[in-house]
Homo-oligomer: A and B are copies of this chain.
C-alpha cells in the first residue's frame, strides 16, 4: 500500500531498482494536452545518476516510454502509463547487502514489515523509485504552466552550512541550471561543489536544504482542515527519500518572531488584495492567497558512505559493513527535480479539486 498519491490527478508508482524497470500510472490527467516523451525526458535527465562529477557515477540512460493515454501526441483523459527499463543490473555488487542491514537504510525495516525484501540495490527503497514521480511531475508541471499559468522552481538553498542567497521572486530556471549543484547563487554554488568533492574523497556525504517556489497560484487553492496546501506539500516532500524536515513560509524561524512582527498586513496593489510581507509563504488557513508559495525541505546526508560501520546481519549477529562501489556524496542536485515534481503533483490536484467543487 501507499504507492498512490493525489485525488483527482492521481499517480501510482511501481518498480524496484533491480527488476524489469520502474514506472508510473497517472489517472485523471486532463484530456487534449499535447504530450510526448520529449516533455518528460528532460526532467529524468536532471534526476538521473551520472549526470555530473558530483553525483553517483552509476550510468543509466533512463529513457522514458509512454505506453498509454496519448493519441497522436495528445492526452486522452485515460491513464498515462510511463516506464523506464532497468539497465544497470549488477546484483553481484550487492551480495553483502543480502545478509547485512545497512545503517540508516530501510533494509531492516522492510524485512521487519514484509518478512522479505529485494536486497539488490535497495529494491523498492532505492531512490530509483522516484523516476515515476519525476515523470508524472513533468506532466503536472506542464498542465500547471499551460492551463493555469503557474511556474514551479526548486533549487539547492544550503549544503551543510553553506547557505545561498536567492531572491525567490526573480530566480529563473536558467540560473538554477547554470551549475551542477543547481544553486542559483554562483558564489555559494562554487563552495558547495568543493565541499561535495571533498566528501567524495573522504567517502562521506552531506545533506542540506532545497527550496521550492510556486509563482502564479491564484487565491483559493487548498482545502480547509486536513488537506491544507502546506499539509499536502509537507506530506509530498517528506515522502522523498532522505527528507527529514519541511517548513513553509517563515517556518521554524517564524517561531522566533512575535505575532505583531510575523503577521502579513494586507494592502491593495494594482486592484488586487496583496500582503506587504510573505511570512505565510503564500498560504493562509491552508489555502493559497495569491502570493508566491515557498517551502524548504531538509535532506539528511545520504546513508551510503564508503567507510566501515557497525551493523547487524540477518542472523542477528553484530558485524561491520563497508560501503563500496558507487558513491553519491550529496543527493541534493538530483533531488531538485523530485521536489519540483512533488510540488507540481500537489498543486495540480488542488487546482482540479477546486474546479470540481467550486466550478
Contacts of A30 in B (CB 8 A): 357-359
Q: Decide if A71 is an interface residue (CB 8 Å cutoff).
A: yes
Q: How many residues of A contact B (CB 8 A)?
A: 155
A21 touching B67 in the complex, CB below 8 Å, given contacts A224-B3, A305-B259: yes
CB pair B225–A106 under 8 Å, yes or no, is no
Instruction: Give the 5 A-B residue pairs with the shortest CB-CB distance, closest first.
Output: A106-B285, A356-B356, A2-B223, A2-B227, A20-B67
**CB <8 Å contact, B16 and A78:** yes
A-B contact pairs, 9 of them (CB 8 A): A1-B223, A31-B357, A101-B273, A109-B220, A115-B358, A124-B224, A226-B235, A245-B251, A259-B300
Choose from B1, B22, B83, B208 the contact partner of A28 (Cβ within 8 Å).
B1
Q: In the complex, are the beta carbons of A110 and B310 less than 8 A apart?
A: no
Asked if A57 lies at the interface with its beta carbon under 8 angstroms from chain B, I say no
Residues of chain B lying within 8 A (CB to CB) of residue A4: 4, 10, 12, 27, 226
Contact check, B109 vs A288: say whether CB atoms are below 8 A apart: yes
Q: A116-B77, A268-B316 are in contact. Are A209 and B255 (CB under 8 A)?
A: yes
> DSSP majority for the A interface?
mixed
Q: Name, among A103, A147, A206, A299, the residue most crowded by chain B CB atoms within 10 Å (CB to CB).
A: A103
Residues of chain A from 6 to 27 with CB closer than 8 A to chain B in the complex: 7-8, 10, 12-16, 19-23, 25, 27
Contact present for A298 and B113 (CB under 8 Å) = no
Among the stretches A48-56, A164-172, A185-193, A347-355, the one at the interface with B is: A347-355
Nearest CB to that of A13 among chain B residues?
A: B225
Known: A2-B226, A27-B1, A76-B118. A255 touches B20 (CB 8 A): no
* Beta-carbon contact of B232 and A1 below 8 Å: no
**Chain B residue with Cβ nearest A120:** B71
